[in-house]
């Protein structure tokens, strides 16, 4: 770190080893949590920021990280990841390059061996209404989690979040009194565990009392949280292809016609180990057709972002880099996949590193595995981070 630049994280002694609360976003947590394990991701973020050549770019990134805004943090981490990826693959990088035909600037221009391309990064955001509801739920959960009982753990079985903050502290007191009235030895089956139902205006919740193991029962717990089981989320159909498409549509026309390939990097936090959602996003959702007297046949709809031959769509986008589950302490679990546009007006050059590549050839989708594992690529040790995140014994 240059002496003229203030550090990203506070320079102070850290003593709080508690896990993050529901209300605590990533940067405040990393800036607060103690332990050598957590020093490593802090140093990694600082190192990545230090590699920004321009002091103004450093100040911008530092300010956004420290803003406390979870979406800003995720956006900056994606940008830093891309910058480090391009740097380590030998590219010359220009941050926010000027364009001749517009005052808008993409995030990066990268060039290697005379071949260059633009990169724009985006992390899909939630609506204000969704964020507001999520904040009320997180506040509610944190208030309940401060309940201390030596004999029971709570299972949250259902939760209806209201339009304003409820008297959660009163509920916590009622839950505490209820738990003290129960005998932990009398509960032998979780399926028939005692239940506590609560309603207040448009809020409603149901809890079950689960007895703690006999050995630590009656003993205080380090970093205690009252809720041990979160079973309140209803089963629902998940279509994360919509999230990907919405993010791409917010950026694909941002800079008009470019003279170099254009790559959009999308930061995600979804469950997509088999790339089912991603494939649906780019090549259309899976459909099944039944014809009279014939077996069912599968095909893809025409709603994919790339379209289909001969009517390819969004051909100004050369490729899309999906970066899923990016966290500085779990870089080896980051799922990075480059989806090359089969009909791109300007094809994207290859991109090495810890990135799988998906290419459509003769109506067949081919996967090329990453050339280098993430930890090796980023010069990090195994295991990463070294040490133990929660060294104190926990139940």
Specify if 300 maps to a domain. no
Residues 70/72/73/77 CA torsion (nearest 10 deg)? 140
Q: What is the pLDDT of residue 236?
A: 87
Specify if 133 maps to a domain. yes
Q: What is the pLDDT of residue 199?
A: 97
The answer to whether 78 and 123 are in contact (CB under 8 A) is yes
Q: What is the pLDDT of residue 295?
A: 72
Closest CA to 119 of 83, 74, 73: 83
CA 386 to chain centre: 22
Full-model pTM: 0.94
Q: What is the pLDDT of residue 394?
A: 45
Specify if 211 maps to a domain. yes
Q: What is the pLDDT of residue 103?
A: 95
Closest CA to 166 of 206, 200, 129, 207: 200
Tokens representing residue 352 in the block:
């090495």
Specify if 306 maps to a domain. no
Residue 220 belongs to domain spanning: 128-230
Specify if 111 maps to a domain. no
Going by C-beta distance under 8 Å and a sequence separation of 6 or more, which residues neighbour residue 68?
25, 27, 28
The answer to whether 319 and 261 are in contact (CB under 8 A) is yes
Specify if 204 maps to a domain. yes
What is the Cβ-side half-sphere exposure of residue 22, based on CA atoms within 13 angstroms? Answer: 17
User: What DSSP letter does each residue of 320-354 carry, written as one string?
Assistant: EEEEES--TT-GGG-EEEEEE-TT-SSPPPP--SS
Helices then strands, each counted (H, E), the chain: 9, 16
Residues 94/100/106/111 CA torsion (nearest 10 deg)? -40
Specify if 205 maps to a domain. yes
Residue 336 to residue 88: CA distance in whole angstroms = 15
Domain count for the chain, please give it: 1
Q: From first to last of its 395 residues, what are the pLDDT tens digits of the chain?
A: 677 899 999 999 999 999 999 999 999 999 999 999 999 999 999 999 999 999 999 999 999 999 999 999 999 999 999 999 999 999 999 999 999 999 999 999 999 999 999 999 999 999 999 999 999 999 999 999 999 999 999 999 999 999 999 999 999 999 999 999 999 999 988 889 999 999 999 999 999 999 998 776 766 677 789 999 999 998 888 999 999 999 999 999 999 999 999 999 999 999 999 999 999 999 999 876 667 666 766 667 789 999 998 899 999 999 999 999 999 999 999 999 999 999 999 999 999 999 999 999 888 999 999 999 999 999 999 999 999 999 865 44
Tokens representing residue 286 in the block:
């899976």
User: What DSSP letter does each residue of 27-71 carry, written as one string?
Assistant: HHHHHHB-SHHHHHHHHHHHHHHHT-SSHHHHHHHHHHHTT--HH
Q: Where are the alpha helices (DSSP H) in the chain?
A: 26-32, 36-50, 55-65, 70-88, 128-145, 168-180, 241-249, 276-283, 374-377
Specify if 87 maps to a domain. no
């Amino acid at each position: 770190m240059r002496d003229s630049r203030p550090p990203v994280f506070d320079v102070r002694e850290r003593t709080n080893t508690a896990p993050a609360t529901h209300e605590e976003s990533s940067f405040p947590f990393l800036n607060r949590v103690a332990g050598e394990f957590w020093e490593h991701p802090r140093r990694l973020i600082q190192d990545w920021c230090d590699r920004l050549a321009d002091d103004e770019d450093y100040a911008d990134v530092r300010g956004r990280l420290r803003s406390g805004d979870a979406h800003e943090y995720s956006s900056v981490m994606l940008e830093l990841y891309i910058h480090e990826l391009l740097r380590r693959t030998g590219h010359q990088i220009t941050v926010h390059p000027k364009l001749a035909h517009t005052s808008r600037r993409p995030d990066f221009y990268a060039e290697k061996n005379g071949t260059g391309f633009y990169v724009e990064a985006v992390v899909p955001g939630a609506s204000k209404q969704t964020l507001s509801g999520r904040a009320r739920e997180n506040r509610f959960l944190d208030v309940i989690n401060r309940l201390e009982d030596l004999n029971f753990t709570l299972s949250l079985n259902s939760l209806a979040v209201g339009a304003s903050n409820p008297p959660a502290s009163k509920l916590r007191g009622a839950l505490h009194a209820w738990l003290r009235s129960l005998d932990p030895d009398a509960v032998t089956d979780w399926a028939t565990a005692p239940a506590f139902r609560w309603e207040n205006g448009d809020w409603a919740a149901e809890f079950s009392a689960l007895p703690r193991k006999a050995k630590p029962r009656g003993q205080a717990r380090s970093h205690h949280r009252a809720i041990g089981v979160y079973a309140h989320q209803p089963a629902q159909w998940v279509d994360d292809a919509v999230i990907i498409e919405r993010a791409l549509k917010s950026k694909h026309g941002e800079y008009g016609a470019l003279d170099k390939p254009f790559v959009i990097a999308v930061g995600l936090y979804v469950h997509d180990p088999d790339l089912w959602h991603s494939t649906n996003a780019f090549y259309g959702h899976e459909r099944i057709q039944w014809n009279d007297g014939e077996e069912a046949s599968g095909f893809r709809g025409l709603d994919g972002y790339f379209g289909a031959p001969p009517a390819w769509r969004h051909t100004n986008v050369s490729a899309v880099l999906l970066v899923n589950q990016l966290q500085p302490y779990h870089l080896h679990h980051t799922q990075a996949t480059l989806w090359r546009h089969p009909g791109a007006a300007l094809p994207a050059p290859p991109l090495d590193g810890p990135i799988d590549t998906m290419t459509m050839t003769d109506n067949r989708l081919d996967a090329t595995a990453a050339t280098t594992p993430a930890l090796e690529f980023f010069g990090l040790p195994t295991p990463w981070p070294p040490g133990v995140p929660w060294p104190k014994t926990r139940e």
